[in-house]
Amino acid sequence: AGKRVKQEIYALLDAPTPEKLRTWLETGYRLAQAEDDRVAVARILADPDISDALRAAAEEVIDGTPEELRYFLETGRYEVDE
């Protein structure tokens, strides 16, 4: 889990209610993970030594959906340079 996900989990632990937990699991986690993933893609882009293909793929996905970001980080970035 990234920084944003951890922050939100700690906030939930401070004031746990079934409603807050349910809401966070349904929507909050996805959005927090997307923010963490966007930061991870930005870090990839900050590396001056990445290939042109990886840079193009990262630039294309950085404004994508949470699902696109997650796919890129888990799988797509490794497929780019094959």
Q: For residue 38, what are the CA distances in angstroms to 3, 30, 49, 63, 78?
A: 12, 12, 19, 8, 17
Secondary structure class of 2 (helix, strand, coil)? coil
Give the mean model confidence (pLDDT) for residues 28-46: 94
DSSP 82: -
Smallest CA-to-CA distance from 4 within 61, 69, 55, 59 is with: 69
For the chain, give every domain's residue range: 3-80
Predicted pLDDT of residue 53: 96
Q: Record the pTM.
A: 0.80
Q: Which of 21-30, 42-51, 60-69 has the lowest average pLDDT? A: 21-30
Residue 65 confidence (pLDDT) above 80: yes
Residue 54 confidence (pLDDT) above 90: yes
